Amino acid sequence: MIPPETHIYVYEVQGDMDFDPPSPPSSFVGLWNEQGFSYLFFTAPEDWYVKDRICSPRELPFTRHEMRYKDWQRGLPAEGLRVAGVSFVPADHRGPPPGAIILDPSVVFGDGSHPTTRSCLRSVEYIVQREQVNSLLDLGTGTGILSLAAAAMGIENVLAVDRNRLAVATALENVRVNSLSSIIQVRHGEARWFLDEPFDVVVANLPFHVLRDLVPLRGVTVHKWWVVSGIYRDQSAILEELFSELGFQCHRHQHDPPWLTFIAHNENIR
């Protein structure tokens, strides 16, 4: 766990790095790829390493950002957090209550504070309270928080997916710490790669452009429930129309401005 006052050094490099950084220094936290840029996280300044080992072969420029960890990641409150009947406590909690999920977000999205995380948790709880849910697919798992919560709600087969290796590593560690490896499988890859195997529930807290390309794919209709989040109201209308064309009923809207979450139900699957 990274102490709150630790300084984080974030190096922004143009291009998606599809390889692990070679022989990284001990200060290396991880690598994040997003929208054509790579972000390397360190707990100490590593200009020489980024310049010589990452950027030099391709003569890429880089930008360094510096901040305290607590300014990057709000983190769980010391006493923990309870959402949708599930308790989460930070990794340094001295006495986690029975059944609580221990969560270390590192520098990855998903510490429970964001409105879309909370609305997804409430949506999964809504479905679980109404019928038997045996399996769940978590697309864009981040820290693994939604998958961990699904296991805590009694779902016995969970697949957590993320295209980012740092998110996968973080989720794997959170699954290990909570002794949930027999329930939660964490995989690296694009969301579209994992649609063909049917799940009772799919949770997709993803950017709109990813969801817009995902929903028309063939595998979407083999799943009974979708929880869709990470979008704005006008974007929701577009996605709901796509789901409706596939035979889904969309309902249970949660609006936490500017974010909106909805549930899509495939009534053709019993």
Q: Determine the Cα–Cα distance for residues 47 and 123; give it in Å rounded to an integer.
A: 44
Q: Which helix (H) or strand (E) holds 169?
A: helix 165-177
Which DSSP category does 12 fall into? Answer: E
- Where do the structural domains in the chain lie, given as residue ranges? 7-72, 86-266
How is residue 54 written in tokens?
Answer: 């990452």
Q: Read off φ and ψ for residue 199, nearest 5 degrees.
A: -130, 150
How is residue 177 written in tokens?
Answer: 């710490």
Question: How confident is the model at residue 168, as a pLDDT?
Answer: 95
Contacts of 114 (CB under 8 A, 6+ apart): none
Q: How far apart, in Å, are the Cα atoms of 158 and each of 142, 185, 202?
A: 14, 6, 10
Name the CATH code of domain 86-266 (choices 3.40.50.300, 3.40.50.150, 3.50.50.60, 3.40.50.720): 3.40.50.150
Length of the chain: 270
Which fold is adopted by the domain 7-72? Answer: Alpha-Beta Plaits (3.30.70)
Question: How confident is the model at residue 122, as a pLDDT?
Answer: 97
Contact present, 137 and 159 (Cβ < 8 Å): yes
Question: How confident is the model at residue 80, as a pLDDT?
Answer: 82
Contact present, 138 and 203 (Cβ < 8 Å): yes
Which DSSP category does 22 fall into? Answer: S
Question: How confident is the model at residue 61, as a pLDDT?
Answer: 86
Question: How confident is the model at residue 172, as a pLDDT?
Answer: 97
Per-residue pLDDT of the chain (270 residues; tens, 9 = 90+): 788 789 999 999 988 877 788 899 999 998 888 878 889 999 999 999 999 988 887 778 899 999 988 877 776 777 888 999 999 998 888 887 888 999 999 889 888 889 999 999 999 999 999 999 999 999 999 999 999 999 999 999 999 999 988 999 999 999 999 999 999 999 999 999 999 999 999 999 999 999 999 999 989 999 999 999 999 999 999 999 999 999 999 999 999 999 999 999 998 887
Q: Determine the Cα–Cα distance for residues 124 and 112; give it in Å rounded to an integer.
A: 14
Q: For the chain, what percentages of helix, strand and coil (3-state, to nearest 5) are there?
A: 30, 30, 40
In one letter, which amino acid is 180?
L
Question: How confident is the model at residue 27, as a pLDDT?
Answer: 95
Contacts of 45 (CB under 8 A, 6+ apart): 9, 64, 66
